[in-house]
């Protein structure tokens, strides 16, 4: 007699020494097997031409519904052989994925850890891999990201300056573009020269919408940044612009400029970097990924590196908070 599906759910019985000869087809056969409408011979086909590997594949597919021990007995293969096959298969998948991870790590110059590599796997290759698996494979490859340096506050304010209320209250999310902006100034040293960068970030999609660089840390640095931002914008009524209490943001020129376009001024509490953490985070990424990895010797080179990183950050660097998209792509999808 041919092998039959036992009435006991999920158990195969082998009442004949003849081996089954058909391949398991999950989409068509499985429902009928579970209803006991098919015998084992009709579920599996000719496996001899593929050797043990095809039998292991059939066992693997059928193991969703039936015990491995019974399936191995049915096909005349050992359980140890089957589990060795599964281990080899997993190793093959890991080898392929390791090659992709290694390539991404090199492409982005070793700047990123497992969580960002996970996003690049999705963005660049359309593959979503569990973050724990990415971490394990990176550890096996000996790949580590560069650690970001802690920010040291360079806060200074002017006597008699104007202070605004903290309207943002650490709510770093916005429902639409040009609803909430954050801004700040950072510095980078090249030899004996300091380069200052002023930037504005839109909290809707974390895009850097304007920035300006100078060797002088003065009011003009900030005013030029906002001139660039407003150049491509219309009425900004309702916009909240948040900053720290640095001297540029407490100046008369700054407080005269923003109300003219309908924007409201918001400021962090004195010396509290957490109130502007979103902007601090961007500067940290900029320096760790765009500046510190390189031997920068001139101001021109530093400016070029900053230009390149901001373009990359806006257009190519995916973020979890943006549905794993880069800022500009996120804005396009949500405002289309």
Among left, alpha and beta (phi > 0; psi -120 to 50; other), residue 109 is left
What is the C-alpha to C-alpha distance for residues 138 and 117, in angstroms, rounded to an integer?
9
SS3 54: helix
Closest-CA residue to 156 (of 75, 25, 230, 251) = 251
SS3 319: strand
Mean pLDDT of all residues in 306-334: 96
Please provide residue 133's backbone torsions phi and psi, each rounded to the nearest 5 degrees: -70, -40
Beta bridge partners of 202: 181, 207
* Band of residue 36 on the pLDDT scale cut at 50, 70, 90: very low
**127: how many CB neighbours lie within 10 A of its CB?**
12
Mean pLDDT of all residues in 57-86: 83
Domain locations in the chain as residue ranges = 4-77, 90-141, 180-335
Q: Model pTM greater than 0.75?
A: no
Q: Which CATH class is domain 180-335?
A: alpha beta
What's the token pair of residue 165?
């209320």
* Band of residue 147 on the pLDDT scale cut at 50, 70, 90: low
- Cα–Cα distances in angstroms (integers) from residue 29 to residues 24, 47, 111, 305, in the given order: 7, 17, 49, 59
* Band of residue 34 on the pLDDT scale cut at 50, 70, 90: very low
Say whether pLDDT at 161 is over 90.
no
Mean pLDDT of all residues in 268-279: 86
pLDDT at 61: 83
Type and span of the H or E element at 140: helix 131-141
How wide is the angle at C-alpha 48 spanned by C-alphas 86 and 66, nearest 5°? 50
Between 230 and 95, the more confident residue is: 230
Q: Note whether 185 and 307 are within 8 A (CB).
A: no
Instruction: Give the chain's mean pLDDT.
Output: 81
């Amino acid at each position: 007699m041919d092998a039959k599906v036992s009435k006991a759910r999920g158990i195969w019985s082998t009442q004949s020494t003849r081996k089954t000869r058909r391949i398991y087809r999950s989409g068509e056969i499985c429902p009928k097997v579970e209803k006991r409408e098919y015998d084992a011979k009709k579920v599996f086909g000719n496996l001899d031409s593929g050797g043990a590997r095809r039998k292991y594949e059939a066992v693997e597919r059928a193991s969703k519904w039936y015990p491995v021990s019974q399936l191995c007995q049915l096909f005349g293969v050992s359980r140890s052989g089957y589990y060795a096959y599964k281990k080899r298969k997993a190793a093959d998948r890991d080898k392929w994925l390791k090659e992709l991870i290694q390539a991404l790590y090199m492409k982005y110059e070793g700047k990123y850890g497992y969580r960002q590599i996970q996003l690049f796997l999705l963005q660049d290759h359309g593959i979503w891999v569990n973050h724990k698996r990415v971490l394990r494979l990176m550890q096996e490859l000996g790949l580590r990201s560069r650690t970001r340096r802690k920010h040291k506050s360079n806060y200074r304010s002017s006597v008699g300056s104007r202070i605004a209320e903290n309207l943002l209250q650490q709510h770093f999310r916005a429902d639409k573009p040009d609803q909430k902006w954050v801004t700040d100034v950072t510095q980078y040293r090249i030899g004996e020269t300091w380069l200052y960068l002023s930037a504005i970030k839109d909290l809707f999609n974390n895009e850097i919408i304007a920035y300006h660089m100078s060797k002088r840390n003065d009011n003009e640095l900030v005013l030029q940044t906002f001139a660039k931002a407003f150049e491509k914008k219309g009425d900004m009524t309702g916009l909240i612009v948040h900053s720290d209490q640095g001297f540029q943001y407490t100046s008369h020129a700054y407080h005269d400029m923003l109300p003219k376009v309908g924007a409201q001024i918001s400021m962090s509490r004195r010396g509290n970097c957490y109130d502007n953490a979103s902007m601090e985070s961007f500067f940290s990424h900029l320096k760790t990924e765009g500046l510190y990895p390189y031997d920068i010797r001139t101001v021109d080179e530093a400016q070029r590196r900053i230009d390149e990183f901001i373009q990359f950050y806006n257009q190519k660097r995916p973020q979890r908070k943006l549905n794993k998209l880069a800022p500009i792509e996120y804005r396009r999808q949500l405002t289309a």
